[in-house]
Every structure is written in structure tokens, then in C-alpha cells.
Homo-oligomer: A and B are copies of this chain.
């Protein structure tokens, strides 16, 4: 098809305190005594007050997701095996956390019903069967993973998602109250994932009016929050959650660009997390995104954020080569950013020089 027929998330509930409706929302999705599995960001492991709010019934189980590293296909497969061993079948998986937890939830849901390893499905439209019921409840805003049709996974040979019509959530629950304890730096890095999405998408060659409308609104909201004010309140959390949602939707008919392509290489070799990796990279991309980078630098300054420097110092040639391989493999991102003849513009040498700046 010329234009992608975009599969939407089935149900969206948005509201401060909407988390209290979770039990009611899950009730019709429970199948006999098959449990609901709650994938919870390990950040909440000692937050007894929050954990007590998870509506556990019968054999339901909380599984803490270690998000120290970006999600790996081996981790997805291991969790799937554990759940199959322990329960046979489950009613569904509810992800509560950031982008990594969203992606782990989508991936394990799909792997409960699709044979083999999740690495077999890294790519476009390789998934064969719908997964088990899956719901996403973000506790930090920016990645857009709550509405995307992918799951970003690091596999044995590539960092690439399971892109398919079966990938989007059946349900998302957007409760800005859940974001109130996010540390300031982390909040900024993750929010900038959204801002950078928008800059890359709005300046890209793939753009159409659908993605433009969502991208402009998401970028406007990021700027309202981070550029036009230095304090933070409930309304900021509410707006940022919508910016994340709109930023995710804007990817439907567009693509990310240079920052994401370069940051994936960094993350593959150094394990740099996605949000902070994007910030490290975007900070040096004036030549590609002059206006966006200028705004970014202003936001960094206004919010006293520290962008790590010198992280590629001392890397070997082999490390750089690997980063360059991973990055240049992301053809649609480069094509969106630089056009059909992107290869003439982005040589291995130029990319190496860029990586050496971080």
C-alpha cells in the first residue's frame, strides 16, 4: 500500500487518577482463572503505597522489569518461557513503567502466541498471530511507546523492533498523576525523546498532513513546558503526557532522523539508554537541525540539565565501526532525514567524526 493503514490502540482512558479504574477495565478481559501479569518498572519495587494500588486477583503476579539496559530479545524470550512454565496461559500483561516496560510488555504479549525467539520477528510485519491482551500504563512521558506499532529490542544481530499491526496495545491508561515522582533529569531526557521525534519528523522528507498535525502539537506542548516556563506543576505532567501521545502518533506517517539513527549505534555498543542517548547526540547536531538544536540547548540551560560528555573517549576502532554499522543500517531514518541520496551525504568518515564528538 502507498499509505500505511495505521492500527490504532483500541481503548484510551486519560485522566488524573484514572489508575483507580484499572480493576474495572481489566475485569472483562480476564479469562477464567488465567492470571493477569503486571510488568512493573523495578523503580517501583520499594514503593509499597503504589504497589498496593495494583488490583491483584487470584493468581495474578507482579514481575519487576529490570530497565537498567535497553530491552533485549533474550530477556523477552526468558520472561515468556517463565510465564509459560508457571501458568501455561495467562489473561494478559499490563505494563506499568517507561518506554522499556512498554516495549517489554508488547513483545512478551506477542511471544506468548508466536513460536520461536523474539529475534525472529525483528523487522516489519513478521509477527503472525495476535498476542495475549496487553495494556500500557506509562509512568514517565516522552517515548510515545504507548501508541507505537513497534517494540525496540536489542537482538543478537540488530537493534530493531517487532513492527506489526498486532503490536499496538489493546488498552492504554494515561494517568498523569503516575509521573509525579520522576527524577528531574530523567523526566527531561525522556521528554526530549518526544521533542527530538518531532524535530526529526517535521523536518523530514516523509512528512504528510496527518503526522504534521500531531508533530506540531507535540512540539508546541514540549516548548510550552520546557521553553516558556522553568517551574513544574500538575499541568506540566498533564501536557507532557499528551505531548508523548501526540509525538508517538506523529510517527504514523513519518520517521525519526539523524539523532535516532546515531543514538541507536551508541546504545548498541555502549548500552546508553534511549532518552539520554538522544540528548547526547542531538546536542551536537546543529548542522542538521539548527533551529531544533538551538531550542534544545536553551531548554537544557533553563532546566539545569546535565548532558554527559566524552562518553566515546577511549573506544576502539572496532567499537566505532560497530556503531557506524548499526547506524547506517537504519536506512529509512537516514532517508527521511537526508533524502534518497543520503549515502552521498553521510559517509562512514563523517559519521565517525560525529561519534568522536560525544
Interface centre among A3, A8, A216 (most CB of B within 10 A): A3
Whether the Cβ atoms of A242 and B217 lie closer than 8 Å is no
Does A5 count as interface, using CB distance less than 8 angstroms? yes
Closest partner residue, chain B, to A17 (CB atom) = B2
CA distance A171 to B209 in the complex (A): 19
CA distance A5 to B230 in the complex (A): 33
Whether the Cβ atoms of A14 and B208 lie closer than 8 Å is yes
The stretch among A18-26, A43-51, A116-124, A264-272 that forms the contact with chain B is A18-26
CA distance A253 to B245 in the complex (A): 15
CA distance A210 to B241 in the complex (A): 9
Take A210-B174, A213-B246 as given contacts and tell me if A3 and B8 are in contact as well, using a CB distance cutoff of 8 Å: no
User: Which residues of B have CB within 8 Å of A242?
Assistant: 209-210, 212-213
Take A209-B238, A239-B209 as given contacts and tell me if A5 and B17 are in contact as well, using a CB distance cutoff of 8 Å: no
Take A3-B21, A5-B21, A8-B12 as given contacts and tell me if A216 and B217 are in contact as well, using a CB distance cutoff of 8 Å: yes
Does A4 count as interface, using CB distance less than 8 angstroms? yes
Q: Which of A1-56 contact B (CB under 8 A)?
A: 1-18, 20-21, 24-25
- Give the number of copies in the complex: 2
A2-B15, A4-B13, A14-B208 known; 11 new pairs, CB 8 Å cut-off, are A1-B21, A3-B14, A3-B15, A5-B11, A6-B12, A8-B8, A8-B12, A12-B210, A12-B252, A15-B253, A213-B242
CA distance A235 to B17 in the complex (A): 40
Whether the Cβ atoms of A8 and B5 lie closer than 8 Å is no
User: Which residues of B have CB within 8 Å of A191?
Assistant: none
Q: Shortest CB–CB separation between residue A8 and chain B, in angstroms?
A: 5
Does A107 count as interface, using CB distance less than 8 angstroms? no
State how many residues of chain A have any CB contact under 8 Å with chain B.
43
User: Which residues of B have CB within 8 Å of A238?
Assistant: 208-209
What are 26 residue pairs bridging A and B, where the CB atoms are less than 8 Å apart in the complex?
Answer: A1-B13, A2-B18, A2-B21, A3-B17, A5-B12, A5-B13, A5-B21, A5-B25, A6-B13, A7-B10, A8-B12, A10-B10, A14-B208, A14-B209, A15-B208, A15-B253, A174-B210, A176-B209, A208-B238, A209-B235, A209-B241, A210-B242, A212-B242, A213-B217, A213-B242, A216-B217
User: Which residues of B have CB within 8 Å of A243?
Assistant: 213
User: Which residues of B have CB within 8 Å of A5?
Assistant: 11-13, 21, 25, 171
Q: Shortest CB–CB separation between residue A19 and chain B, in angstroms?
A: 10
Does A221 count as interface, using CB distance less than 8 angstroms? yes
Whether the Cβ atoms of A253 and B10 lie closer than 8 Å is no
